[in-house]
């Protein structure tokens, strides 16, 4: 129930469709304006909240100051830190928006703030970036700490892990703040689908039985499980488990062909075959494991579109006479012993940062006779995990507790309303393929279901186009999480403080560790330039 009396004011940066606004107003907050540049998000925000477009401060990079307010929130764009993206951090222009955010924090001096981002921000690879952000917040005069929270712990059926940086201008309230406990409210996927949660009887067999002639280690990837079996089926050739559907389960293949596929699956992640998390294998590699494997057998799997060939190693032709472009010459800086190893180029951070068209440049050098391929390897044709197989990544059963993270790009995750009651592992997989997959009894979630999964009202107005509304809802915060954080901030009493507490203290801290510092006044976001 919405609290009618306003007890604090707030401004919402990178507001999106208003997830912060709903949560804060439900707890007595009064909006003084928002900042957003996406046209669909602005339209949805204004329509759902009967908000004037005049209250949009616009592009954050052009905002010089904000009106006085108590709480500042920001869902800073996450692509720079996302594992799904290139994970370039401050090397990506979008990463620089953190500087603009902290600049406005320092300029407006609210009593508290909530900043949200993807879990990739706390990835070890981004350690220096996170420390940089916390340091800038500290210099702005705030006590702050970051917290990792999963939305499923706060009353929505969605696994959505996010980082929340919570800060206070006064140490007194920072010390009083405690991260909210897990919600007692339990909502399952079946509740969102409007059906009764199925009761799955226990299996009678040992789930640890060997599924294949040569067992493959099974890593648990369960978002939700009953009786040791996932409540969803994963369509993927790069993983394995009791509820994994491989392309060779769908395409007609012999036992011998299946065995070769499992051989690649078991060995492709070994460091002996390359630097990547998953590496293609050459014919020599296959034959070093099983000497009976022939190139004809591998090529048959290529014809079935289960495997593909990859040019892996390129050797320099020292007698070439072709004129090289600037990009081609740049690539030559990474040649080693007259050879290019394609994986070495793919993992090179500098080439990523400069968006070097590696494959296109390699192809150009081949046509000019500068290099030639000297090693062919074999890899699964479908190697993008989120894409899955044949347009399907995962299909969730109604018995599942939760749904995966909603993303802006409209994932290939589906749901089925069919209930399976297997008696054993093989029966579970067979029933699913025959009764759900082959009959097409599965679908994507609807717009109203997506809203409920994020904690928005079922009737929340969004564009008709699926791609457009998925982008908006996938980029939003989960409303119940923000409500829980807001209540925890209110419990500190920070918005009841006297005027004497509103001065910015000379001592600030990160994670409760005080230090003495005189902070020079900042005149623009550029003063937050990256130092490393």
Query: With 60 as the cut, is the pLDDT of residue 125 above it?
Result: yes
Q: What's the pLDDT band for 519 if we cut at 50, 70, 90?
A: very low
Count of residues in the chain: 532
Distance in angstroms (rounded) separating the CA atoms of residues 73 and 479: 13
The β-bridge relationship of strands 143-150 and 112-118 is unpaired
CB 73 within 8 A of CB 101: no
Percent of the chain with pLDDT over 90: 62
Query: With 90 as the cut, is the pLDDT of residue 227 above it?
Result: no
CB 9 within 8 A of CB 71: yes
pLDDT in the model for residue 204: 57
Distance in angstroms (rounded) separating the CA atoms of residues 496 and 355: 50
pLDDT in the model for residue 108: 96
Distance in angstroms (rounded) separating the CA atoms of residues 55 and 62: 15
CB 335 within 8 A of CB 316: yes
Strand partners, 251: none
- The candidate with the shortest Cα–Cα distance to 236, out of 294, 190, 272, 278, is 278
Task: State mean pLDDT over 236-247.
Answer: 93
Q: Which of 62-76, 389-403, 410-424, 438-452 has the lowest mean pLDDT?
A: 410-424
CB 34 within 8 A of CB 12: yes
Which CATH superfamily, name and number, covers 8-186+476-528?
A: Vaccinia Virus protein VP39 (3.40.50.150)
Which two tokens mark 456? 């928005």
Q: What's the pLDDT band for 213 if we cut at 50, 70, 90?
A: very low
HSE at residue 97, side-chain half, CA atoms within 13 A, is 21
Per-residue pLDDT of 285-316, as tens digits, reads 999 999 999 999 999 999 999 999 999 999 99
Q: What's the pLDDT band for 376 if we cut at 50, 70, 90?
A: very high
Torsion angle defined by CA atoms of residues 123, 124, 127 and 133, in that order, rounded to the nearest 10 degrees: 10
Distance in angstroms (rounded) separating the CA atoms of residues 342 and 331: 11
Distance in angstroms (rounded) separating the CA atoms of residues 416 and 436: 7
Strand partners, 336: 339
In whole angstroms, how far apart are CA 434 and each of 232, 257, 349, 419, 424?
15, 22, 45, 13, 15
Q: Which of 313-317, 356-360, 504-508 has the lowest mean pLDDT?
A: 504-508
Per-residue pLDDT of 74-92, as tens digits, reads 998 855 544 444 444 444 4
Distance in angstroms (rounded) separating the CA atoms of residues 433 and 98: 47
Strand partners, 161: 150
Query: Which of 78, 261, 451, 486 is the catalytic position?
Result: 78
35 secondary structure, DSSP code = E
Distance in angstroms (rounded) separating the CA atoms of residues 454 and 488: 20
CB 112 within 8 A of CB 145: no
Q: Tally Cβ neighbours within 10 Å of residue 503.
A: 11
pLDDT in the model for residue 514: 30
Task: State mean pLDDT over 91-102.
Answer: 70
Distance in angstroms (rounded) separating the CA atoms of residues 117 and 209: 41
The β-bridge relationship of strands 225-226 and 232-235 is unpaired
How far is Cα of residue 64 from the mean position of the Cα atoms in its chain?
31
Query: With 70 as the cut, is the pLDDT of residue 241 above it?
Result: yes
- The candidate with the shortest Cα–Cα distance to 251, out of 379, 427, 380, 378, is 380
- The candidate with the shortest Cα–Cα distance to 375, out of 504, 283, 258, is 283
Mapped to the 3 state alphabet, what secondary structure does 394-463 carry? EEECCCCCCECCCCCCCCCEEECCCCCCCCCHHHHHHHHHHHHHCCCCCECCCHHHHHHHCCCCCCCCCC
Task: State mean pLDDT over 179-200.
Answer: 87
How far is Cα of residue 253 from the mean position of the Cα atoms in its chain?
34
pLDDT in the model for residue 215: 39
Task: State mean pLDDT over 509-515.
Answer: 32
pLDDT in the model for residue 498: 55
pTM of the predicted model, to two decimals?
0.80
Strand partners, 234: 244, 394
Higher per-residue pLDDT: 468 or 358: 468
The β-bridge relationship of strands 507-510 and 513-516 is antiparallel
Sequence spans of domains, the chain:
8-186+476-528, 259-380
In whole angstroms, how far apart are CA 351 and each of 312, 320, 440, 531?
18, 24, 43, 22
Q: Which phi and psi (to 5°) does residue 9 adopt? A: -110, 155
CB 383 within 8 A of CB 278: yes
What does R_g of the chain's alpha carbons equal in angstroms?
Answer: 27
Q: Which phi and psi (to 5°) does residue 469 adopt? A: -75, -30
Q: Burial level of 326, CB count in 10 A (0-12/13-18/19+)?
A: exposed
The reply to whether 7 belongs to the active site is no
Reduced to 3 states (helix: H, G, I; strand: E, B; else coil), residue 252 is coil
């Amino acid at each position: 129930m919405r609290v009618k009396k306003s007890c604090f004011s707030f401004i919402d940066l990178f507001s999106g469709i208003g997830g912060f606004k709903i949560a804060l107003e439900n707890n007595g907050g009064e909006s003084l304006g928002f900042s957003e540049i996406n046209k669909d998000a602005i339209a949805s925000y204004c329509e759902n909240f009967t908000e004037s477009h005049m209250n949009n401060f616009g592009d954050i990079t052009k905002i010089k100051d904000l009106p006085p307010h108590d709480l500042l929130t920001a869902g800073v764009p996450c692509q720079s830190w996302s594992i799904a993206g290139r994970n370039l951090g401050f090397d990506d222009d979008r990463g620089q928006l953190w500087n603009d955010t902290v600049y406005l924090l320092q300029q407006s001096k609210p009593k508290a703030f909530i900043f949200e981002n993807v879990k990739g921000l706390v990835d070890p690879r981004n350690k220096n970036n996170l420390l940089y952000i916390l340091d800038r917040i500290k210099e702005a005069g705030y006590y702050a700490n970051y917290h990792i929270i999963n939305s499923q712990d706060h009353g929505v059926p969605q696994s959505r892990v996010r980082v929340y940086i919570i800060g206070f201008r006064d140490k007194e309230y920072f010390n009083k703040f405690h991260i909210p406990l897990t919600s007692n409210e339990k909502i399952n996927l079946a509740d969102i689908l409007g059906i009764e949660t199925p009761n799955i009887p226990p299996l009678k067999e040992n789930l640890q039985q060997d599924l294949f002639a040569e067992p493959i280690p099974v890593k648990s990837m369960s978002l939700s499980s009953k009786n040791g079996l996932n409540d969803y089926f994963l369509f993927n050739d790069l993983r394995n488990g009791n509820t994994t559907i491989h392309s060779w389960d769908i395409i007609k293949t012999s036992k011998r062909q299946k065995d070769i596929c499992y051989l690649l699956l078991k060995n492709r992640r070994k460091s002996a075959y390359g630097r990547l998390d998953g590496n293609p294998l050459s014919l020599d590699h296959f034959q070093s494991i099983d000497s009976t494997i022939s190139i004809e057998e591998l090529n048959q799997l290529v014809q079935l579109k289960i495997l593909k060939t990859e040019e892996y190693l390129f050797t320099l032709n020292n007698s070439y006479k072709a004129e090289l472009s600037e990009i081609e010459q740049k690539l030559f800086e990474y040649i080693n012993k007259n050879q290019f190893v394609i994986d070495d180029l793919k993992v090179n951070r500098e080439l990523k940062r400069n968006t070097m068209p590696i494959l296109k440049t390699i192809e150009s050098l081949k046509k000019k006779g500068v290099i030639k391929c000297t090693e062919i390897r074999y890899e699964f044709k479908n190697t993008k995990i989120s894409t899955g197989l044949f347009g399907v990544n995962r299909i969730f059963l109604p018995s599942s507790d939760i749904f995966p993270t909603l993303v802006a790009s409209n994932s290939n995750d589906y749901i089925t309303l069919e209930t399976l009651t297997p008696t054993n592992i093989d029966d579970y997989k067979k029933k699913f393929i025959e009764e759900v997959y082959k009959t097409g009894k599965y679908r994507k979630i609807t717009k109203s279901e997506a809203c409920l999964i994020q904690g928005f009202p079922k009737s929340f107005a969004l564009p008709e186009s699926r791609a457009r509304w998925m982008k908006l809802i996938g980029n939003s915060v989960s409303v119940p999480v923000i409500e829980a954080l807001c209540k925890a901030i209110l419990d500190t009493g920070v918005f009841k403080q006297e005027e004497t507490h509103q001065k910015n203290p000379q001592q600030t801290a990160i994670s409760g560790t005080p230090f003495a510092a005189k902070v020079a006044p900042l005149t623009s976001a550029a003063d937050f330039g990256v130092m490393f």
